[in-house]
Amino acid sequence: MARNVNFSRPKDTKKTLLQLLSYLGRHKWYMLVTGFLVAVSGMANILGTYLLKPVINNYIIPGDIPGLIRMLIFMGLMYLAGALSCMAYGQMMMHISQTVVSEIRSDLFQKTQKLPLSYFDTHTHGELMSRFTNDVDTITEALNGSFTMLIESFITIAGTFTMLLILSWRLSLIVFFFLAVMFVFVRFNSARSRKYFARQQMYLGSMNGFVEEIVTGQKVEKVFNHEPQDFEEFCRRNEDYRQAAVKALTYSGLTIPTVVSLGYVNYAVSACVGGLFALSGLTDLGTLASYLVYVRQSTMPINRFTQQINFLLAALSGAERIFDMMNQEPEVDEGKVTLCNVKTDAQGNLEETESYTKDFALKVPASDTAGSAPFRLIPLKGDVRFHQVVFGYTPEKTVLNGISLYAKPGQKIAFVGSTGAGKTTIINLVNRFYEINSGSITYDGIDIRQIKKDDLRRSLSMVIQDTHLFTGTIADNIRYGRLDASREEIIEAAKVANAHSFIRRLPQGYDTPLHSDGANLSQGQRQLLSIARAAISRPPVLILDEATSSIDTRTEKLIEKGMDALMEGRTVFVIAHRLSTVRNSKAIMVLEKGEIIERGSHEELLEQKGRYYQLYTGQFELE
């Protein structure tokens, strides 16, 4: 039974095909052997059919039984060689396809890790996941069968038509007429089926997205008793998909029966006319028998070739989406300054060490002056300064307008303000998740654009409101902050974050497995693990973005004490809507529309009786 496929043609077929062939080219010897075996399989079928002519004319009609037996043995060996070649290239192509797809999937994942956050801001998770699932599966299916079947079908078609012309060019006129009719019908029908398949794909994506939203938001749906309305909306989308699928499959389903029926008519007409030719002496019986077998065989490879073209185009369309993602510009990183662990020698000088010492330094390459040291070490203290920073996520809208601020080592700097004021944006710029439009950000006197991004981010730890835990044990998730951390260091970090008490009460303690983003823990417990994960590396700079929003006040006080001990001599950035959590900050920045409108300590801002005073006394609420 033939398969149906929904696809959109790739925008640049040649470019996509060349990029896909570059992966196949890594296994060129396998491909050459596979191509040879495909050719052997196809030619065995074509030559075996042609041998019917001498078998009938030279052995059956004259009654040469020994000669007939020899020819039958020869034909049997030829068909056996074709069958063995078919089995061999099938296994080889399966090996090649799985290897190639594995390489594509690995390259895609590696590329995904190098893409800037701005790319993920403009593409949904479902859209990106479809690259790893639907598009990769389409390529796998095409390489497993369509690629070799396409080559064999082409060889069979070319060989069959050549033999038809050699055996009888007069009868071939009938065959070519029916083939022209088939071509016109297939072209006409395919255009309509593609239109409805594209519509079916669109409705399927809409329905899948809706189901994903509902499954993710089950609590909200149940709280607001929205089940009837959501079911009604699902039924509407499901019906749209059903109607498009019916029309698409209707048109697609007409192709094979129509082509097969035209093939039968072609065979019948050719047999009748060929019989008249044989009676009139225009052809012999062996030629007619061989010719009619070719006619009977001509429809199948054409139909198969058309189907495989569709599957190949579907694979190229999926490959194009994958390669488009691979061809995206990665994060720009021109930094040369690196981060290293250091220790102090007997003379009080810093020296680099491979072991973890809890002390870091920025390794700055020295100038090329003759005789100078290859690099100099700058102790990493956590002095962060913004100098007239201007930034916007899009060129049309500026989010930060000339922000200037500083955070000295050991200081706790808090940001407060309305939603959209630019608080989280400032944090994102410290991490270099985005590049500023103008101005500069320095880290211990060095422009962060000169620091390698990986090294910059290793010197920072971040706890955000939306925690994310990975599949694994609790210990694994805490160790995520520093992979070489010992069990004792994991427990110490958990104690600092006040997570040790609830962890030890779990049945398996630190070896308790977590799944589905830690669904078996409360939101507060997940947040505590996130804080422990940030604490384990003892970073020079700690960023807390609503980190304690899911924790009760008592636990929050305990965490603050632990954080104070942890971040002694370090820099802390805090974003909080709960103003009680920022009272002990060294400086509080009040942001509004991308500008700092007030700055100072808690007491100083209260004395000013400005926006912070209004927020603190409840005269103005954060929106």
367 shares its domain with 444:
no
Give the angle subtended at the CA of 67 by the CAs of 64 and 72, to the nearest 5°: 120
Identify whether the C-beta of residue 506 lies closer than 8 Å to the C-beta of residue 430. Answer: no
Among candidates 540, 393, 384, which has minimal Cα distance to 455? 540
Identify whether the C-beta of residue 252 lies closer than 8 Å to the C-beta of residue 314. Answer: no
Number of other CB atoms surrounding residue 488 within 10 Å? 8
SS3 category, 144: helix
- Last residue within a domain, chosen from 306, 326, 346: 326
Domain assignment present for 322: yes
Checking if the pLDDT of 2 tops 50, the result is no
307 shares its domain with 410:
no
Alpha-carbon span 182 to 203, nearest angstrom: 31
Give the pairing type, strands 375-379 and 350-353: unpaired
109 shares its domain with 160:
yes
Question: Please, which residues have CB within 8 angstroms of residue 540's CB and are 6 or more apart in sequence?
Answer: 360, 380, 381, 382, 409, 459, 460, 570, 571
Give the domain range for residue 128.
Answer: 13-326
Task: Identify the pLDDT of residue 593.
Answer: 85
Alpha-carbon span 234 to 215, nearest angstrom: 12
Identify whether the C-beta of residue 159 lies closer than 8 Å to the C-beta of residue 46. Answer: yes
Q: For 456, list phi and psi in degrees, rounded to 5.
A: -60, -45
Domain assignment present for 19: yes
Q: Where are the alpha helices (DSSP H) in 147-216?
A: 147-167, 169-216
Average pLDDT for 395-420: 85
**Could you tell me what percent of the chain has a pLDDT over 70?**
91
Band of pLDDT at residue 388, cut at 50, 70 and 90: very high
SS3 category, 572: strand
Identify the residue with better confidence: 618 or 103. Answer: 103
Question: Please, which residues have CB within 8 angstroms of residue 476's CB and are 6 or more apart in sequence?
Answer: 470
Number of other CB atoms surrounding residue 188 within 10 Å? 10
Domain assignment present for 469: yes
Alpha-carbon span 226 to 223, nearest angstrom: 8
Does the predicted model carry a pTM greater than 0.95?
Answer: no
Question: Please, which residues have CB within 8 angstroms of residue 440's CB and are 6 or more apart in sequence?
Answer: 386, 387, 388, 389, 447, 449
> Structurally, how many domains does the chain consist of?
3
Domain assignment present for 195: yes
Band of pLDDT at residue 550, cut at 50, 70 and 90: low
Question: Please, which residues have CB within 8 angstroms of residue 442's CB and are 6 or more apart in sequence?
Answer: 383, 384, 385, 387, 448
* Residue length of the chain: 623
131 shares its domain with 192:
yes
Summarised one tens digit per residue, pLDDT across range 162-196 is 888 888 888 888 888 888 888 888 788 877 777 78
Summarised one tens digit per residue, pLDDT across range 199-240 is 887 788 788 878 888 887 887 778 778 888 888 989 998 998
Band of pLDDT at residue 80, cut at 50, 70 and 90: very high
399 shares its domain with 466:
yes
Band of pLDDT at residue 548, cut at 50, 70 and 90: low
The residues pairing with 352 across neighbouring beta strands, listed in sequence order, are 342
Domain assignment present for 235: yes
321 shares its domain with 352:
no
Alpha-carbon span 489 to 470, nearest angstrom: 19
352 shares its domain with 414:
no
Question: Please, which residues have CB within 8 angstroms of residue 213's CB and are 6 or more apart in sequence?
Answer: none
Among candidates 189, 165, 162, which has minimal Cα distance to 259? 189
Identify whether the C-beta of residue 375 lies closer than 8 Å to the C-beta of residue 364. Answer: yes
355 shares its domain with 418:
no
Q: What's 227's domain CATH number?
A: 1.20.1560.10
Alpha-carbon span 448 to 431, nearest angstrom: 9
256 shares its domain with 113:
yes
Contacts of the segment 160-163: beta carbons below 8 A, 24+ positions apart: 160/46, 160/294, 160/297, 160/298, 160/301, 161/298, 163/46, 163/49, 163/50, 163/290, 163/294
Domain assignment present for 331: no
Give the pairing type, strands 472-473 and 513-514: antiparallel
Sign of the four-CA dihedral 55, 59, 65, 67: negative
How many secondary structure helices (H) and strands (E) does the chain include?
21, 16
Among candidates 562, 478, 468, which has minimal Cα distance to 519? 468
- DSSP conformational letter for 328: S
Question: Please, which residues have CB within 8 angstroms of residue 522's CB and are 6 or more apart in sequence?
Answer: none
361 shares its domain with 476:
no
Domain assignment present for 290: yes
Summarised one tens digit per residue, pLDDT across range 563-588 is 666 666 678 888 877 676 777 788 88
Domain assignment present for 4: no
Alpha-carbon span 431 to 260, nearest angstrom: 63
Give the pairing type, strands 412-417 and 400-407: unpaired
Summarised one tens digit per residue, pLDDT across range 505-542 is 988 899 999 877 777 788 778 888 888 888 887 778 88
Match 């007491």 to its residue by tokens.
Answer: 603
Buried b / exposed e along 23-55 (16+ C-beta atoms within 10 A): bbeebeeebeebeebbbbbbbbbbebbbbbbeb
317 shares its domain with 407:
no
As a whole number, the mean pLDDT across the chain is 82
297 shares its domain with 370:
no
Band of pLDDT at residue 440, cut at 50, 70 and 90: very high
Q: What's 443's domain CATH number?
A: 3.40.50.300
